[in-house]
Amino acid sequence: MNFLSLVAPDVWRDLIERGRRRTYRSQAVLLAQGESPDGVIALVDGLVKVVQGNEAGDRLTLMLRGPGEVLGEMGVLLDRPRSATVTAVRPCTGVFMAAHAFRGYVARHRLEPIVYRLSVDRLNSQERLRADLAHLPPAARLARVIVHLADEIGRRDGDTGITVELGMPREDLAAMAGMSRSSALAALARLQSTGIVSLGRRRLVVRDPALLNVAAQDDGAGGNDRPPRGAPVM
């Protein structure tokens, strides 16, 4: 579910036509945590990651977002500083709309219920993931994160499976699951050896979604890695 999937084609087209098209290089910052909400970005092409930092200097990747998303909308509607940093993980094309224009756009198309529903659904999804990670052993936590990413940004490629463009190092994937890099690599190797996933440089393909869901269940195994803390936002 994303913004594009919830609005009529002409409503999305109105946003694209009224905004200013921008391109972003890989690793470019689209929105920065703490900055003033001066506008939103409708993502037309590419992939971004949403990262939140805390006072201790830790940075946690909360989620990945693809085309059809509107980024920064809640900060604009609530007039609050950006709660996370959004960075391009591969070249992106977006359309920037100033805050006052976006508020007018939302009012004109009566989109308040849709925008708030999407925000609540995202928060609930992240909270469910966070609750799951709190009790799962490390290997199951990684599988659960992959299930989540496949649901969020996966692309079904015929009979080959679901492709998930990570666009980020596996350290970030490990951090999302609250695991060390070595534990995450070992868990990925097991998933690959059993044919559940296949791995590329910065992508993975879920070959067997049913078995991945089984792997994402609590198998009673222990582990010293701890799940991530902090309330994810977007």
State the residue for tokens 């803390």. 229
Confidence bin at 119 (pLDDT 50/70/90): confident
Q: Which residues contact 66 (CB under 8 A, 6 or more apart)?
A: 2, 43, 46, 47, 48, 153, 165
Taking the model in full, what pTM does it have? 0.78
What's the confidence (pLDDT) of residue 151?
85
pLDDT in tens, 18-69: 999 999 999 999 999 999 999 999 999 999 988 888 776 677 777 888 999 9
Highest mean pLDDT among 2-11, 127-136, 160-169: 2-11
Is the pLDDT at 226 greater than 90? The verdict is no
pLDDT at 158 exceeding the cut of 80: no
- Distance between CA 188 and CA 12 in Å, rounded? 38
Contacts of residue 198, Cβ cutoff 8 Å, sequence gap at least 6: 161, 192, 204, 205, 207
Beta strands 20-24 and 29-31 are: unpaired
Cα 57 to Cα 38: distance, rounded to the nearest angstrom: 25
